[in-house]
Every structure is written in structure tokens, then in C-alpha cells.
Structure 1
Amino acid sequence: MMPLEAFAEWAGGDRVFWCPPGDDAMAGLGVARAVEVDGPWRFDVAATAAADLLGDRDIAFAGFSFADQEGTGAWAGYPSGWLAVPERVVRGPVAADSGCRSVDGLRVQDGSRASYRDAVKRAAEAIEAGELAKVVVAREVEAGGAIEPAVVLARLASRFESCTVFGFGRGRSCFVGATPEILVELHGDLVTTTAVAGTAPRGATPVEDAINVEQLVSDPKEQAEHRYVVDYLRTRLALAGVELDPTGEPRALTLPGIHHLSTTVTGRIAPRPGLALRLAGALHPSPAVGGTPSLFAQRWIADHEGIDRGWYAGPVGWIDHRGCGSFYVALRSALVGPEGLRLFAGAGIVAGSDPEQELIETDIKLAAILDVVT
């Protein structure tokens, strides 16, 4: 049985689907041992618990909310931190059909456009007043109707081959997405993270596409937004004891519907139990999903954004008994429930940001999932 087929058949219980680019997928089914964590030290608590939960041949899947708060409402069942060793792990390729039947399109219900423009305007005013240098403002769109999470995952895996596709199912809900952004990976002693910030749309023709890339890599506003993230990642990794490698120039990361600026940051550190979780905690939330200064941006988001992010923009991934593992930022994502989906996308607001252009950027990002379910 293929991983996604096994994931689909395990409906109703705890289950995880994980499919990184260029590698086999994994389905983690059921829970053998688990811990829920909260509080300001939730990543360190989870890292300490990992040493007790994990045997030599085990892996544990983990997910965290953006903010340190337990899920309520649609996010009920998604704690601020969850670490679980599954009863069973199924590994293998993602088959083209994966046993998933097709469905009718969903009905988009978007009442967020005016409120999002207003939120961006307030963020720009806070930046102009010197309260912040950058803040990421997100919005939520609903799509009504029934769809199986495995169907969404199969379509995302087919469309976004260069992204990590994930699904965290708890009860009747499942958080799914296709994210290009590595928060941190630790393989042996090699640490890798990526700065993904700065956005441009795809062009209608190859010539227009190339022009959009050229404008992206030379735009001062996009470069400034990107530089905040790179500097943050390097500083936080150095403080965590990582011996950093030199960092190259940003490059264009091209995905269906969108271009991003992307920079890879690498370094070395000796692995130890729980370390990948501690590094994830050191980096979350990066300016790519929160802002800078970090604490002021998080407070602004809590006070002014007006949505419950839940696990959107939080770290999701896995860890083994050595402390090695892989955590991604949960972007291009949606919470799938019995009556439809809640989709999330955000844009980085800096000096000079235009509310209408930031709204368009979130439209492009929301299309990553909307295009495969409507």
C-alpha cells in the first residue's frame, strides 16, 4: 500500500503525511507515544521529551502553532505543540492516483479583502511611526463543500514537486499544505535553512516571466524584505552554536504561479537528541512569517491581524533519536474540515508597501491550493 493510500484509509484518527521533494513519502498512522507542549519554552520541552519518546528505529512527527496558544474553534485538537511517534510508518512513492477519487469544486467565500487592506494600512502606519521594521499580515479565506484531505494532498504533490507536501490529521480535521520554506534541517552535522521572502507573479509568456524575475531580484523593497530574513537566520543559528558557512546571493525560486527570492544558509553542529527541535525553536518565527523586531511584530499580529493562524506559519516536520530531522514553515496551507477548507496566506509589509499590491500577493499564494480544489 502506498503512503497516501494508507493515509486516506486511516481517516478519523491521528495521521501524518510527509512528502519532501525528490524523496519517498511517509505516512505516520496512529499514535504509539505522544506529548503535547505549551508555554514559552515549548520547543525545549518537546526536545527533552523526544529523548524519552524515541527508540533507535523511531521517528516522531511534530507540529506547532504560530503563536503559543492552544487551538480553539476550527483549530480545536491542534495544541500549541505536538510530538508523536506513530504506531506504523508507511514509506514509498506518491502514486499518480493514490487511490483518491475526484470531487466537485468547492465554493469560495472570501469576505477578507476590505479588512485585509485595512490591516496592511495599519501595519504600514506602524512602520512609518518607527514601531516596526517589518510585519507579516495574513488573511483567511473559506471554501465551502466536502473534500477528502488525501485528494488535496495528491493534487498538491502532483502540482508542487519542488515543495514539501504535508498533512496532519487530527480527528475530523486535517491541516494540509505545500511549502517551499525549510525552517531547519539537520542531517549528520549539517544544518540547512532557507530564507524565502520577496515575491513576484509568473508571467503570461517566457519573456514576461523573465522580466518579472529581473524586477524581483533588483527591487529595493523586495531585497530589503529578504535581507531581514537572511540576517535573522544567520544571527539565530550562530547564537544556537552553529558554525556558519558563507552565504551566497539570493536567487529566484520559481513555483507554479509565483516567484520568490530565496537564499540557502548552511552550517555545522554536532547532533544530539532533540537538537532539530531546539534549532526550530531558535528560528521560529522568522521575519518571513512574523516580522522584525520579532517580539513587537508578534504582538502587533496578535492585536491587529484579526484571524486565528493556528498551525499556519508554524513549524511542521519530524525528528529521529539522534536529534536529526526536518522542519518546514507551514505555508501554502489549509485546514480541511467536514464542511470545507480554511485557507491562509500572508505578505510581508515594509516601508513603502501598498495595500492593494499586498492583497494581490496573497491572492497569488492562496491560488496554490485554490487552483487544485476549485
Structure 2
Amino acid sequence: MANRMVQEEVQEKPLLDDYAAGDFYFASPSNVVHGTGVFERVVGSGEVAHLVKQALSEAREQGHEHPVIVGAIPFDRQNELQLVIPEKCVFSEPHQYEKESNEKFSALMQYEIEPVPAPEVYREGVNKGLAGIAAGDFDKVVLSRSVKVHSTEPIDPKGILQNLAQYNPQGFTFAVNLGNEETVEGKQRTFMGASPELLVSKLHHTVIANPLAGSRPRSEDPVEDERRAKELLQSDKDLHEHRIVVEAVKKALQPLCRNLEVPSMPTLIQTETMWHLSTVVKGEVLDDSISSLDLALALHPTPAVCGYPTERAFQAIQEIEPFDRGYFTGMVGWCDESGDGEWAVAIRCAELEGSSMSLYAGAGVVAGSKPEDELAETSAKLRTMLYAMGIGTKAL
């Protein structure tokens, strides 16, 4: 995708080297995007896609040669958008990093970990979700938990981003500035992560979505790791959970796309910590005016991060989870004037502010789910960020 983008530069070094706190950074298997400065913010009430198209048009009228919208949209659409048109947005091809051992990562010397909620309370929440499923309130609900890390020293967002980039070459590594002018005690707020999941991309007419649902933690034992992967592919519970998500994606895209290709069975993808069931859905936009953001908003939130039916699952999440998700399970990405762009599901992520960081992970609850298994799954997902911070996971 990068070979046709505006403001592309030939890079002798990775764009990540130029990243500084407050910038926008987004790396995918096909592009790296680095945005600096703020030409215009997308603010106001109303339909998001309309606000974005208006902002891009106004930026062009005000003299911006290549306006691109970048940023994050929260899980709850009633919350504040974090979308800006950078003063400068540079695109490049992906950079191939050499992996380094975790021991080389810069570890925090002193820190405290606080789970929210506590593990036993999370298990109780899963039981509440199972009770709702048994009562027929919904078929699936995704329940998440947070881990707060408090350090005695400032946490370096660039160092964490560099660590994430090494271990996520096939995924989506991102950093979004969450601060307007006012931040607590002047501290920079950054939303960052390494998501394995593409919500949707659009290049010219081509549309691709890649829903993930159904997971297993990886094992360091190769034999056990392979057993878990095979078991996941044959799990009726996980295949059912995956079908719910794929059907919802298909239903959302059908009014906007033609020639949709939806494989009948999922495949496996792997990250450093997880196995996932994956389906790649492809199609073409019905109309040139349909943007990547239009497509993303039609999909968001998918049952992979919320549940099904969406409205009922969303209400259950509000009742069970003891915190506001913010931008976790929202979406992060970019969209240019032509409508081309990429949007990733905001998972395997954290919000950083000064010497504190809030990490998030969730698990899909369906009939047959076990609270202890869902807790273990969230712990495995949290390791993505904890490893990038160079700290252990015993408290999970």
C-alpha cells in the first residue's frame, strides 16, 4: 500500500527512529505511518465519517497539501474522539527488525502491579456473563480486565514501542497521543499497543477485514504448543465463537461491498503469546465515495470485542466491568482523502501517563466458557505489553 501513498519518503532508517512522545505512529504489514504536529483536530458532535470528510476538505482549503486523518476511536462512541490531521504525515515500507532476547529489554527497576478487578472478581464477572447467556440475553459477551503498573521512574513510550515492533511484524503496532493541551500534571498521555487484528483496510476498490475470535495461550514447549493449536482448530466452542464474529462482519460489509469472499473455515495465526482463529474477508467497495473509515465504523464494535447481539452485550459489559475501557477495543488507524486507509482493532494495548501504565485484555465468553480459562487467556494477552516493558507476569 505504501508504494502509492502521498508524502512517502525513501528511508535509510526506520520511521520509528524519528518517533517522539506526542506523535502518531502506526505500523502494519504493508505500511508504516508517522504523523507529527497537529494541523487540525476533529472535534464536535455528529456522525464521525461526516466530521472527518469535512475536516479533510477544510484542511485542503487551508493549504494542507496532503491531509490524512490519524488517531483512535473509543470503544464507546459517546466518548471523546482522538482524531487529528498531522502537519506532516510520512509513509514508508515496513522495516524488518531483528529480534532481541527479552533480557536485553530495558526493565523497570521498581514497580507495583495492581489488577483491576482482582482475579477472583473477574471470574465472578465471567459467571455473570454465563448466566446472561443461559437466560437468553445474549449469545456472547467479551469481558475484560485491566492491570495498572506503577513505577518509581518515568516509563519510556518510545522504548516500549521499539520492543513491540520487534515482536509484531505481522500485526499492527501503534502509538496515539491522547492529550489535548490539558493533561494531568502536564504528563504526556499515550495510547499504544501491538494488535494482531485488522478491522478493515481499503486500497482503491479492494476491501479486506480479518476478524479474530477463539484463542489459546502459547506454550514454551513446542509439542504442547502444537497440541494447543490443533485443539483450537477442532474446538466446537471456539469455532462457534468465531462463526458469530465472521457472520457479523459479513452482514456489516454487505451493504457497502460487492464480491465478498468469506472462507467457510478459519485458519490459525500466531503471536508471541497467543494462537488465534482467523478469517480473511475480501471484497470491493460498491461506491468510490465509501472510505476505509466508513467501513470501519460499520464494523465497530465487532462481536470479537463486544459480543452478540451487540446492544445487549454492550449493556452487560457496562454492568459487569468495573472500569471504562476508553480506547481499548476501539480502533486505531488512518484514512486519506481518497478514502484509502487501515484500521486495527485496539487490543494488546495500554495507556501510559508519566510513571503509570494501564494495560488491558479481554476474552470472549460463550456457552461452555470456563472462568478459569478466560482468566488465563487474559493473562496471556497481557504478557504482550508486560514483555515490552521488560517486567514479569507473576502477579497476573
TM-score where L is the length of structure 2: 0.84
Kindly state the Cα deviation for residue 169 of structure 1 after the two structures are TM-superposed.
Answer: 1.6
Pairwise CA RMSD: 2.2
Aligned to 2:112: 107
Aligned to 2:24: 16
- Pick from 261, 269, 273: which aligns with 1:245? 261
- Pick from 118, 122, 125: which aligns with 2:124? 118
| Native 8 Å contact 2:205 2:288 kept in 1 | no
Matched residue type, 2:86:
P
Instruction: Give me the whole-angstrom Cα distance separating, in 2, the residues matched to 1:56 and 1:227.
Output: 43
Greater displacement, 198-207 / 177-186 = 198-207
| Native 8 Å contact 2:262 2:280 kept in 1 | no
Instruction: Give me the whole-angstrom Cα distance separating, in 2, the residues matched to 1:204 and 1:358.
Output: 20
The reply to whether residue 28 of structure 1 matches residue 46 of structure 2 is no
Matched residue type, 1:120:
V
The reply to whether residue 165 of structure 1 matches residue 173 of structure 2 is yes
Per-residue CA deviation, residues 237-285 of structure 1 (Å, 9 max, x unaligned), is 0023443124242011111121000000010115545611111110000
Within 5 Å, give how 1:192-271 maps onto structure 2.
Answer: 192-270=208-286
- Pick from 113, 125, 133: which aligns with 1:127? 133
The reply to whether residue 69 of structure 1 matches residue 74 of structure 2 is no
Identity %: 32
- Pick from 46, 55, 58: which aligns with 2:52? 46
Kindly state the Cα deviation for residue 125 of structure 1 after the two structures are TM-superposed.
Answer: 0.3
Aligned to 1:339: 355
Matched residue type, 1:160:
N
Kindly state the Cα deviation for residue 7 of structure 1 after the two structures are TM-superposed.
Answer: 1.9
Matched residue type, 1:211:
R
Aligned to 2:88: 88
Partner secondary structure for residue 69 of structure 1: coil
The reply to whether residue 152 of structure 1 matches residue 152 of structure 2 is no
Instruction: Give me the whole-angstrom Cα distance separating, in 1, the residues matched to 2:67 and 2:52.
Output: 16
Instruction: Give me the whole-angstrom Cα distance separating, in 2, the residues matched to 1:51 and 1:364.
Output: 43
The reply to whether residue 5 of structure 1 matches residue 21 of structure 2 is no
Structure 1, unaligned runs of 5 or more: 71-78
Partner secondary structure for residue 306 of structure 1: coil
Cα gap change, 1:44/1:58 in structure 2, threshold over 3 Å: closer, same or farther?
Answer: closer
Matched residue type, 1:89:
C
Matched residue type, 1:115:
V
| Native 8 Å contact 1:44 1:277 kept in 2 | no
| Native 8 Å contact 1:103 1:147 kept in 2 | no
| Native 8 Å contact 1:184 1:193 kept in 2 | yes
Kindly state the Cα deviation for residue 89 of structure 1 after the two structures are TM-superposed.
Answer: 2.6
Kindly state the Cα deviation for residue 6 of structure 1 after the two structures are TM-superposed.
Answer: 2.4
Partner secondary structure for residue 359 of structure 2: strand
The reply to whether residue 278 of structure 1 matches residue 294 of structure 2 is yes
Instruction: Give me the whole-angstrom Cα distance separating, in 1, the residues matched to 2:44 and 2:371.
Output: 37
| Native 8 Å contact 2:116 2:145 kept in 1 | no
Kindly state the Cα deviation for residue 103 of structure 1 after the two structures are TM-superposed.
Answer: 4.8
Aligned to 1:363: 379
Instruction: Give me the whole-angstrom Cα distance separating, in 1, the residues matched to 2:348 and 2:294.
Output: 24
| Native 8 Å contact 1:274 1:319 kept in 2 | no
TM-score where L is the length of structure 1: 0.89
Greater displacement, 46-55 / 293-302 = 46-55
The reply to whether residue 188 of structure 1 matches residue 204 of structure 2 is yes
| Native 8 Å contact 1:121 1:355 kept in 2 | yes
Aligned to 2:8: none
Cα gap change, 1:165/1:356 in structure 2, threshold over 3 Å: closer, same or farther?
Answer: same
Aligned to 1:310: 326
Partner secondary structure for residue 209 of structure 2: strand
| Native 8 Å contact 1:44 1:281 kept in 2 | no
Structure 2, unaligned runs of 5 or more: 1-12, 99-104, 180-187, 392-396
Instruction: Give me the whole-angstrom Cα distance separating, in 1, the residues matched to 2:354 and 2:96.
Output: 25
Kindly state the Cα deviation for residue 48 of structure 1 after the two structures are TM-superposed.
Answer: 4.7
Instruction: Give me the whole-angstrom Cα distance separating, in 2, the residues matched to 1:371 and 1:355.
Output: 24
Aligned to 1:75: none
Partner secondary structure for residue 157 of structure 1: helix
Instruction: Give me the whole-angstrom Cα distance separating, in 2, the residues matched to 1:211 and 1:198.
Output: 15
Aligned to 1:76: none
| Native 8 Å contact 2:24 2:177 kept in 1 | yes
Cα gap change, 1:47/1:283 in structure 2, threshold over 3 Å: closer, same or farther?
Answer: farther
Number of residue equivalences: 357
Kindly state the Cα deviation for residue 347 of structure 1 after the two structures are TM-superposed.
Answer: 0.3
Per-residue CA deviation, residues 278-302 of structure 1 (Å, 9 max, x unaligned), is 1111000000000000111111112
Kindly state the Cα deviation for residue 162 of structure 1 after the two structures are TM-superposed.
Answer: 1.4
Structure 1 stretches of 4+ with a deviation exceeding 6 A read none
| Native 8 Å contact 2:246 2:279 kept in 1 | yes
Instruction: Give me the whole-angstrom Cα distance separating, in 2, the residues matched to 1:246 and 1:345.
Output: 27
| Native 8 Å contact 1:181 1:328 kept in 2 | yes
Matched residue type, 1:364:
A
Instruction: Give me the whole-angstrom Cα distance separating, in 1, the residues matched to 2:116 and 2:82.
Output: 31
